[in-house]
Amino acid sequence: MTLAGRIPVTRLTPALPDDRWRPKAYEGEVVPFRATVFREGHDQVGAMLVLTSPSGETRRERMSPLAPGTDRWEARVLLGETGEWRWHVTGFDDEVATWRHDAALKVDAGVDVELMFEIGARLLDRAIAEKSRPLAVRKRLTSIASGLRDAAASVAVRRPLIDDPALAEFETRPLARISTDSPEHTILVERRRAGVGSWYEFFPRSEGARRLKDGRWKSGTFRTAAKRLDGVAAMGFDVVYLPPIHPIGVTNRKGANNTLNPGPNDPGSPWAIGGPLADGTPGGHDAVHPDLGTLADFRAFVRRAGALGIEIALDLALQASPDHPWVAEHPEWFTQLPDGTIRYAENPPKKYQDIYPVNFDDDPEGIFDEVLRIVRHWMKQGVRIFRVDNPHTKPLSFWERLIATVNAEDPGVVFLAEAFTRPAMMQALAMVGFQQSYSYFTWRNTKRELEEFLSSVAEDTADFMRPNLFVNTPDILTEYLQFGGPAAFTVRATIAATAAPTWGVYSGFELFESVARPGAEEAIDNEKYEYKPRDFAGAERQEGRSLALYLGILNAIRAAHPALGQLRNIRFHSSDDESVLVYSKHLDGRFTPTGVDDTVIVVANVDPHSVRETKVHLDLAALGLEPGTRFEAEDLVTGQRWDWGDSNYVRLDAFTRPAHILHVRRGPDA
């Protein structure tokens, strides 16, 4: 037996760069399955995708050829059941397709006419003998075979039988003498939240915080923070991410703007985990900060979020303040320096004197057991999403083992990797198990940069890496947002919300917070080091002070258009202006709840300081339309409608309306 097989089947995808790990998708994702299938000579071949769902149901999908001459075949399938799917591709000699191709040429040329009719009739005889085919189909095939053999009928009468619609039967049930099955592959389908979601980050201590008359601060609590959930839900966000909620260390505590001289009212960075509880004893990763309330208060917060359709994502930061119980109980978990001190964290030029990084070398089993205990503890409190802080500074094998162990107990637990680092590590974290990843989106601002980045995450890494397009973070306030004004915030939100199924916003973005600490790419008066209560309602009452309404519109558009819930379907179109980005997301009607195609076009002026007038040129085939088709384009934000085709004029004013989100309206009501 040879490895190639009689009909070679090679280069199957979805696949990972390293076959030690399996590709993955999320529930409801439309996945392109592809393979190279060919044979010697000129006879036609076909390809069939054979899928077995986690529940054991097997389905067969006929694959279609991609670009001519490439021998690449594809079938797009919506994977609607979570768990491990098994699949392979069968390559076969397509006898009926070969006959139809040859017969059309020869009969039209008057060569071997009767011979070609007889070859076709004999093929149909074989198909008719297969009792697995429906009786009505076999009767029609019998009629066609008889017609082909009817020598009394003219060639002109019999010629249309070669193209008879009934022969479409062989698309789903081909006739083949030779076939080759590829090796079996698997793909893991995870719950939909692993791939689709709108995230909102806020600090519970800031929500409801107030300054007392003596200058001290009274922290917000889980109870006051729960009041903010209504506003978050009103904007359509379905995941609320909380920075660490644990006790904060006192030793080397940071003051405002990351200074080394904190005042008595400075609360410290939540990432300096480990500090005094209400009774003065030290608490760590399994405790809540006493200012925020109790564990019961946290559970009530989670329940309130759930009632609003929101999941809680909790930060998992594997580090410790000098006051963490780990430091006294497990000094071997940290790096001891020759002078007897413990090495604190650094990310040059940044220094984190209030944090000790964990060293995994001396007691990896003990650390693993403790972290697993912590994750299980928070799972019991209702948390099923963990945003992992700096996972690239911990061993890859540790994350592989931890995520596999947790997902074996609850496959619905989602881990987001906050790893702004080298591509190899970012991709490896995704391959070993992380369901989502932060990405370079934050720093991709020009038309060319965005086209390259979004193409890459939708095509090159989509089989294993799902980007979460956060527009800002407590640590990241890009120059684009610092100097772009409200237009920059509007454009970034528009692209993040429509270009990928998962996106995120850090609190304050909707208020256009754009003032940076001098010489840094982070906000001044950073919330990491101080309380920052915000008057969201007051800003919304003042025109031009809040983006909250627009963020709600974006999330409503996402909810209404299933095309935006897909990662792999982004297609770029051209414009005559280097600052006007154009892309579409199309979903065929066979994959939508209504059975109607869904197509969204985004046209964005990525220069937040200008008015742009230009023409955009659309590839109508990417929109599911025939060349030359006219259609009605409805702006989903303003409700305006225009008659569009393959080339269209647009005017995008950065100061009023820097982007269009257009729905391609189809049918008689368009």
pLDDT tier at 668 (50, 70, 90 boundaries)?
A: low
On whether the CB atoms of residues 265 and 531 are closer than 8 A, the answer is no
On whether the CB atoms of residues 417 and 429 are closer than 8 A, the answer is yes
User: CA dist 499 to 263, 450, 635, Å?
Assistant: 44, 10, 17
- Mapping DSSP onto H, E and C, the string for 523-553 reads ECCCCCCCCCCCCHHHHHHCCCCCCHHHHHH
pLDDT tier at 522 (50, 70, 90 boundaries)?
A: very high
The pTM of the full predicted model, rounded to 2 decimals, is 0.95
Which residues are registered as beta bridge partners of 415? 386
Task: Over range 97-112, report the average pLDDT.
Answer: 96
Give the pLDDT confidence score for residue 349 in this predicted structure: 78
Give the CA count within 13 Å in the CB-facing half-sphere of 148. 27
Q: Which 8-state DSSP code applies to residue 153?
A: S
Residue 319 assigned ligand-binding role: yes
Residue at 439: amino acid letter = S
The answer on pLDDT for 29 being more than 80 is: yes
Architecture of domain 9-94+179-190: Sandwich (2.60)
What stretch(es) of the chain map to CATH 1.20.58.80? 96-172
Residue 438 assigned ligand-binding role: no
- Which residue in this structure is represented by tokens 């647009």? 650
Which residues are registered as beta bridge partners of 273? 248
What's phi and psi for 224, nearest 5 deg?
-70, -35
Which residues are registered as beta bridge partners of 62? 48
Name the active-site residue from 29, 311, 370, 418: 418
Give all strands (DSSP E) within 487-625, no chain letters: 502-506, 570-575, 580-587, 598-605, 611-617
Which residue, among 618, 626, 615, has the nearest Cα to 666 in the 3D structure? Answer: 626
Tokens of 532: 């920052």
Which residues are registered as beta bridge partners of 272? none
For residue 304, the SS3 value is helix
What stretch(es) of the chain map to CATH 2.60.40.10? 9-94+179-190
Give the pLDDT confidence score for residue 348 in this predicted structure: 80
Which residues are registered as beta bridge partners of 36? 10, 72
Give the pLDDT confidence score for residue 2 in this predicted structure: 77
Q: What is the DSSP annotation of 310-354? A: -EEEEEE--EE-TTSHHHHH-GGGSPBPTTS-BPPEEETTEEETT
Q: What is the pLDDT of residues 528-549, one digit of tens each?
A: 999 999 999 999 999 999 999 9
Q: What is the pLDDT of residues 55-81, one digit of tens each?
A: 999 999 999 999 999 999 999 999 999
Task: Over range 566-593, report the average pLDDT.
Answer: 98
Q: What is the pLDDT of residues 463-516, one digit of tens each?
A: 999 999 999 999 999 999 999 999 999 999 999 999 999 999 999 999 999 999
Q: Which 8-state DSSP code applies to residue 460?
A: I
The answer on pLDDT for 670 being more than 60 is: no
The dotted CATH code for 197-560 is 3.20.20.80
Residue 254 assigned ligand-binding role: yes
Q: Rounded CA gap, 95 and 100, in Å?
A: 9
Give the pLDDT confidence score for residue 347 in this predicted structure: 79
Tokens of 428: 């490896």
Alpha helices for 32-81 (secondary structure H) = none
What stretch(es) of the chain map to CATH 2.60.40.1180? 569-665
Name the active-site residue from 389, 463, 513, 597: 389
- Angle subtended by helix axes 396-409 and 364-380, to nearest 10: 40
Residue at 387: amino acid letter = R
Q: Rounded CA gap, 167 and 161, in Å?
A: 9
Q: Rounded CA gap, 52 and 61, in Å?
A: 11
- Looking at the chain, how many residues does it have? 670
What stretch(es) of the chain map to CATH 3.20.20.80? 197-560
Task: Over range 33-61, report the average pLDDT.
Answer: 96
On whether the CB atoms of residues 355 and 270 are closer than 8 A, the answer is no
* 389 in catalytic set: yes
Q: Percent of the chain beyond pLDDT 90? A: 96
User: CA dist 283 to 246, 272, 327, 591, Å?
Assistant: 8, 12, 11, 50
Class level of CATH domain 96-172: mainly alpha
Residue 447 assigned ligand-binding role: no
On whether the CB atoms of residues 267 and 531 are closer than 8 A, the answer is yes
The answer on pLDDT for 177 being more than 60 is: yes
Which residues are registered as beta bridge partners of 275? 283
Q: What is the pLDDT of residues 322-344, one digit of tens each?
A: 999 999 999 999 999 999 899 99
Q: Is 435 exposed, middle or buried (0-12, 13-18, 19+ CB in 10 A)?
A: buried
Q: Which 8-state DSSP code applies to residue 391?
A: G
pLDDT tier at 667 (50, 70, 90 boundaries)?
A: low
Q: Rounded CA gap, 96 and 99, in Å?
A: 5
What's phi and psi for 148, nearest 5 deg?
-65, -35
* 169 in catalytic set: no
Q: What is the pLDDT of residues 244-300, one digit of tens each?
A: 999 999 999 999 999 999 999 999 999 999 999 999 999 999 999 999 999 999 999
Q: What is the pLDDT of residues 420-436, one digit of tens each?
A: 999 999 999 999 999 99
What is the overall mean pLDDT for the chain?
96
What's phi and psi for 465, nearest 5 deg?
-125, 120
Q: What is the pLDDT of residues 390-418, one digit of tens each?
A: 999 999 999 999 999 999 999 999 999 99
Pick the CATH number of 569-665 from 2.130.10.10, 2.60.40.1180, 3.40.640.10, 3.10.180.10: 2.60.40.1180
Cβ atoms within 10 Å of 12's Cβ, excluding its own = 18
User: CA dist 65 to 33, 71, 72, 177, 656, Å?
Assistant: 12, 7, 6, 21, 45
Q: What is the pLDDT of residues 213-241, one digit of tens each?
A: 998 999 999 999 999 999 999 999 999 99
User: CA dist 556 to 28, 230, 236, 636, Å?
Assistant: 19, 16, 7, 10
Cβ atoms within 10 Å of 498's Cβ, excluding its own = 27
Residue 390 assigned ligand-binding role: yes
Task: Over range 32-53, report the average pLDDT.
Answer: 96
Cβ atoms within 10 Å of 397's Cβ, excluding its own = 12
Give the pLDDT confidence score for residue 1 in this predicted structure: 63
